[in-house]
């Protein structure tokens, strides 16, 4: 029986990997490393807001990966009205701490183990090399990927078509109708897949209402639901 899809492209953070946990750990650890008092209830929401905005700028090619590493902490500390003696070093340490954490979301390991051998699978992430290489290559899922495409390494981000060109080139895939991208971000994963002409699956665990013009081919709220879509 012919499968509907042959190639599955997975986003990493927020789709398979628990970035909420990773982010909390890294910010708390970095404050401790610099001997600074950390108030998670106050600081974490501010950082999340600043970080979300700057990654949107990154997706739109409005800021470079290199500048992002420091600029987010410049904005973060400015928002908190805290003096940052060296935001460059703070940013570097934060990235190293991020790279140490690679916890998976519930159901991720079981899903990928069940799909292994049935499909070609790859990670395609808008991430920074220093963080994602260590996290992804040292995780429980590392052995299952035919390729890991990291935006900083290839020079293009989702939703730009060029990062999909790289993925398809690495995987030797020519038939777009046989590919599916699975991700939690409408503006990068789903928009990118739509623009590239491949099927898209929005992982929406919080069951948010989609008020945007970006429409996924499929939508799931639990990872195991993907099995019915791919057959």
Of 11, 13, 184, 189, the catalytic one is: 11
- Bridge partners, 199 (sequence order): 180
11 part of the active site: yes
Phi, psi of 197 (to 5 degrees): 85, 25
Q: What amino acid positions are annotated as catalytic residues?
A: 11
């Amino acid at each position: 029986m012919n499968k509907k899809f042959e190639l599955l492209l997975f986003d990493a953070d927020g789709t398979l990997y628990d970035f909420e946990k990773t982010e909390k750990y890294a910010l708390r650890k970095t404050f401790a490393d610099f001997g600074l008092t950390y108030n998670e209830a106050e600081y974490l929401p501010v950082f999340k807001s600043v970080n979300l905005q700057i990654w949107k700028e990154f997706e739109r090619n409005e800021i470079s990966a290199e500048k992002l590493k420091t600029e987010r902490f410049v904005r973060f500390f400015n928002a908190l009205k805290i003096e940052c003696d060296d935001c460059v070093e703070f940013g570097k340490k934060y990235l190293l701490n991020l790279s140490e954490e690679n916890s998976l979301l519930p159901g991720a390991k079981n899903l990928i183990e069940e799909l292994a051998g049935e499909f070609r699978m790859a990670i395609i992430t808008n991430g920074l090399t220093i963080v994602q290489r260590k996290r992804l290559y040292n995780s429980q899922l590392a052995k299952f990927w035919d390729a890991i495409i990291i935006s900083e390494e290839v020079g293009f981000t989702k939703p730009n078509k060029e990062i999909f060109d790289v993925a398809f080139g690495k995987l030797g895939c020519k038939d777009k109708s046989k590919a599916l991208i699975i991700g939690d971000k409408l503006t990068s994963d789903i928009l990118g897949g739509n623009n590239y002409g491949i099927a898209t699956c929005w992982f929406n665990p919080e069951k948010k209402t989609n008020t945007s013009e970006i429409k996924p081919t499929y939508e799931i709220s639990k990872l195991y639901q993907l099995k019915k879509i791919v057959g």
